[in-house]
Structure 1
Amino acid sequence: MTTPHEELLPTTRRALLHRIATAQAEGRAPSLMASVARDGELVWSGGRSMVDGHAPDENVQYRIGSITKTFTAVLVMRLRDEGVLDLGDTLEKHLPGTGVGEVTIAELLAHTGGLVAETPGEWWERTPGSTRPNLTDVLGEQPFKHPVGRRFHYSNPGYTLLGSLVEALRGASWEEVLRREILEPLGLDRTSARPEAPHAGGWAVHPWADAMMPEPLEDLGLMAPAGQLWSTTADLARFACFLVKGDERVLGAESLREMRTPSAPSQADNWERTYGLGLDLLRWEGLSLAGHTGSLPGFLAGLWVSEREGLAAVVLANCTSGPLVAAVAADLVKIVAEAEPRIPEPWRPLPEVDEKVLELTGPWYWGTQVLALRLVNDGGVEIGPLTGAGRQARFRPHGDGTWLGLDGYYAGELLRAVRRGDGSVSHLDLGSFVFTREPYDEGAPVPGGVDPQGWRGF
């Protein structure tokens, strides 16, 4: 019997090592480190280095660049879940005077606020944060590049605003809030705003020669919430697992599912990639992945997690360009998923069954289309077509005999069973649609009525 703690097979481990070794060699990275987690446990780590016998391990820090944004997004979602703010709130409501106050918090999280991609002035990643002491220095005189809410346009200043929002509402620095609310509860003790030994140095590798030079290391100041952090593959693998399962001390699974739901239009040059709330969403050779990538001078980072497979992979390198770490991390997930498919948990019956819910299961008709309602093991229900394509969704119970749609066409819609005076079920009401036990059931209030002559041939 396979358990989450069991090691990967030797052939799988060799395939993983081959993938990162090829990436380090062909990408000419001074070092490259990777880890894979399965069902919440670290199951493999591997490193390659230009120095014989000195490969990094899973506890060596690298700078992770924009993966920092996902940490910032979790802090914002915590504020939402506490009722401190709503994602539909404008920035002006909580952080007045920025000059871009009409942008909503959700739009900032999803990069749909129309804001500039970078700060004005000198290249912000290679200059001290002290040169941009105020939000006006980060945003510039013309902070909008597109109409608000119309398109996806990645914005580093947008996450500076979210970091400042966290500081304003918590009354503490972004770094302090991050440590208190995410790093300490999750045990990410090798994740920090500044490098802590052992850590890799950042390098630039010459594009046309096997030569390199060190990159400058700058503190990003106000831009820190967009890309400041240092971390390890072990810490990030643990964080990746949290992004699926959740942790009630930090953020629940439902809020994380919301973060993993597309919130931005697909990018025009890649219809297989879109963005949620602080999370990049990618379809990769049959896998649905969520995560983020990152880069700063001297460093590259990639993190992906597959909810379906229970797999997470992290790849970190210390070079400005070279190995395509996002692709490497996605390949690591794919290697394990194909070589060692996830073994399902044993089927188990529900601990108890609500008879009033049980009587709702089975076939229902939306007009003439037949769908099935099933009671699932988390106490919710799901509806979907018996055959072929069609609308399907999962629903969470409200506790009052109604259910809230979680995904698909009916996300956010209310499902309720309408009962007759004697308690028997007349029909289901789903977002005003009437679902009946028979096609156009004469005994149900079908809008428009049912032809009194009934069904007939031509």
Structure 2
Amino acid sequence: MTTPQEDLLPATRRALLHRIAVAQAEGRAPSLVAAVVRGGRTVWHGSRTSLDGHAPDENVQYRIGSITKTFTAVLVMRLRDEGLLDLGDPLEKHLPGTGAGEATIAELLAHASGLAAESPAPWWERTPGSLRPELADVLGEQPFLHAAGRRFHYSNPGYTLLGALIEKLRGASWEEVLRREVLEPLGLLRTSGRPQAPHAGGWAVHPWADVMLPEPAEDLGRMAPAGQLWSTTGDLGRFAAFLANGDDRVLSAESLLEMRTPAAPPEDADVMAGYAYCLGMEIRRSGGRLLVGHTGSLPGFLACLTIGVEDDVAAVVLANCTSGPQLSAVGTDLVGIVAEAEPRIPEPWRPLRDIDPSTLECAGQWYWGTYGFALRVTGDGLVALEPLSGSGRRSRFRANGDGTWTGLEGYYAGELLRAVRRPDGTVSHLDIGSFVFTRQPYEEGAPVPGGVDPEGWRGIG
């Protein structure tokens, strides 16, 4: 038996330090901190330059900007899982009178509502939230720029509406609900709506001279659910572990998988870049690696949370400057450094404790027309349908307890798989949303739609 080494190798740690050192120096950031999470725990922390004479550690707060949206989305998904709303509900059903009620909750989560990107002037990130005390002040006279559901258009006011929805259904402030339902259960005790010492100050670095200017740290008021939070690499590392694996005290792994699934119509440029927006999270492909998470920025601060779910590696990168280092690229590289230098050691294969004979009977090779598929029963209690070759439709299915299974992903997400049996109880074929899968290609005697030619297979001549 072998046990995976929990700590990173010296060469890996040096490569991580080198990457953030280059980012801080070339990006001209007053300070830059980063952490890497693997196996649900922080395995590396690094920082460059100093704050108040000491190197910032995992407990120093930085403002995280739009990573706040992921926290807000978790609260909305909790409301959905409790049956208090449906993602397809129009906002008007639960929060009437906003003037933007035709947008659905899912569209707001996915930035597909058609709402404007920003609130009316003055620039909300550098002015007090007291200037926008009401939702009408955030939305303006013409809140919609596009038809709802037609395109991805990032909208900060959209998340303000989601925050107001949370407050309406919970009967408490957004920040109070967040603390009670997410921060305290997950132990994120250094994440807050207002800065708590020790924290970094925000700076603007002159683009053509090595001098700096302090940035204001405004309370965003109504806009808080879109970007208010302050946090640390320690807390965000724990949050990343939660987003990857779930925690039933807050949100299940299944609901988090839904949050990590693309939900907004992509723009052409996004397709080319391998980018899509999900339900409060971004997803992109880099060098064959699928990454989820979110970036954030407010005047004086940059932030990035990147999760390589398949590699079980996450990276958090924070800096206290308005512009400079490209933290998304840094986060991608930190995940890649660990994943490639020290690949994830898979869990040992173990057989199932028990299996339903009727499920085992369905395992094996099936054909949809002439396309070959394999149905496998996996150790996690799911069944997986995948093509015998190529990159065709594939999905895992969860048992419903009545001899049927529901698709969890891909083309068959939400679709019902059932085994159709003959009068003697043996399996005739599989049915997935009216598609018939048979043991042989166009099997004679099987109820293939359109029938099977009685002369059977033949050659030419």
The alpha-carbon deviation at position 244 of structure 1 amounts to: 1.3
Alpha carbons 1:5, 1:41 under 8 Å: kept: no
The code of the aligned residue for 2:397 comes to: F
- Distance (Å, rounded) in 2 between the aligned partners of 1:133 and 1:385: 55
Report the secondary structure of 2:270's partner residue.
coil
- Distance (Å, rounded) in 1 between the aligned partners of 2:458 and 2:430: 26
The alpha-carbon deviation at position 330 of structure 1 amounts to: 1.1
The code of the aligned residue for 1:275 comes to: Y
Report 1:271-350 matches (<5 A): 271=271, 272-350=274-352
Report 1:49-448 matches (<5 A): 49=49, 54-271=54-271, 272-448=274-450
Alpha carbons 2:51, 2:200 under 8 Å: kept: no
The alpha-carbon deviation at position 339 of structure 1 amounts to: 0.5
C-alpha change, 1:343 and 1:223, in structure 2 (3 Å) is same
Compute the TM-score of the two structures, normalised by the length of structure 2.
0.98
CA offsets, 1:431-451, max 9 Å, x none? 100101111112211111111
The alpha-carbon deviation at position 267 of structure 1 amounts to: 3.5
Report the secondary structure of 2:428's partner residue.
strand
CA offsets, 1:390-439, max 9 Å, x none? 11111111111101111111111100000111110010001100101111
Between 1:260-269 and 1:306-315, the stretch displaced more is 260-269
- Distance (Å, rounded) in 2 between the aligned partners of 1:267 and 1:295: 22
- Distance (Å, rounded) in 2 between the aligned partners of 1:5 and 1:229: 34
C-alpha change, 1:3 and 1:108, in structure 2 (3 Å) is farther
Alpha carbons 1:267, 1:273 under 8 Å: kept: no
Report the secondary structure of 1:352's partner residue.
coil
Alpha carbons 2:50, 2:56 under 8 Å: kept: no
Between 1:323-332 and 1:152-161, the stretch displaced more is 323-332
The code of the aligned residue for 1:374 comes to: R
Partner of residue 458, structure 2? 456
The alpha-carbon deviation at position 236 of structure 1 amounts to: 0.3
- Distance (Å, rounded) in 1 between the aligned partners of 2:214 and 2:264: 37
CA offsets, 1:31-63, max 9 Å, x none? 000000001011000001156962211110000
- Distance (Å, rounded) in 1 between the aligned partners of 2:394 and 2:288: 20
CA offsets, 1:238-267, max 9 Å, x none? 101101110000000000000000001233
C-alpha change, 1:145 and 1:42, in structure 2 (3 Å) is same
- Distance (Å, rounded) in 2 between the aligned partners of 1:337 and 1:394: 25
- Distance (Å, rounded) in 2 between the aligned partners of 1:153 and 1:221: 23
Alpha carbons 1:126, 1:218 under 8 Å: kept: yes
Report the secondary structure of 1:363's partner residue.
strand
Alpha carbons 2:95, 2:165 under 8 Å: kept: yes
The code of the aligned residue for 2:386 comes to: G
- Distance (Å, rounded) in 1 between the aligned partners of 2:251 and 2:3: 26
Between 1:68-77 and 1:322-331, the stretch displaced more is 322-331
The code of the aligned residue for 2:458 comes to: R
CA offsets, 1:250-297, max 9 Å, x none? 000000000000001233323211100000111112210110000000
Alpha carbons 2:118, 2:157 under 8 Å: kept: yes
- Distance (Å, rounded) in 2 between the aligned partners of 1:5 and 1:189: 28
Between 1:404-413 and 1:172-181, the stretch displaced more is 404-413
Report how many residues are paired.
458
Identity %: 74
The code of the aligned residue for 1:170 comes to: R
- Distance (Å, rounded) in 1 between the aligned partners of 2:218 and 2:53: 30
Compute the TM-score of the two structures, normalised by the length of structure 1.
0.98
Report the secondary structure of 2:115's partner residue.
coil
The code of the aligned residue for 1:55 comes to: A
The code of the aligned residue for 1:383 comes to: L
CA offsets, 1:14-44, max 9 Å, x none? 0000000000000010000000000101100
- Distance (Å, rounded) in 1 between the aligned partners of 2:250 and 2:79: 11
Partner of residue 37, structure 1? 37
- Distance (Å, rounded) in 2 between the aligned partners of 1:131 and 1:183: 28
C-alpha change, 1:132 and 1:5, in structure 2 (3 Å) is farther
- Distance (Å, rounded) in 2 between the aligned partners of 1:195 and 1:102: 36
- Distance (Å, rounded) in 1 between the aligned partners of 2:126 and 2:321: 14
- Distance (Å, rounded) in 2 between the aligned partners of 1:160 and 1:2: 50
Report the secondary structure of 2:445's partner residue.
coil
Alpha carbons 1:4, 1:39 under 8 Å: kept: no
C-alpha change, 1:51 and 1:260, in structure 2 (3 Å) is closer
The code of the aligned residue for 1:344 comes to: P
Report the secondary structure of 2:366's partner residue.
strand
Alpha carbons 1:2, 1:343 under 8 Å: kept: no
C-alpha change, 1:395 and 1:355, in structure 2 (3 Å) is same
- Distance (Å, rounded) in 1 between the aligned partners of 2:4 and 2:143: 48
What's the C-alpha RMSD, in Å, of the aligned pairs? 1.2
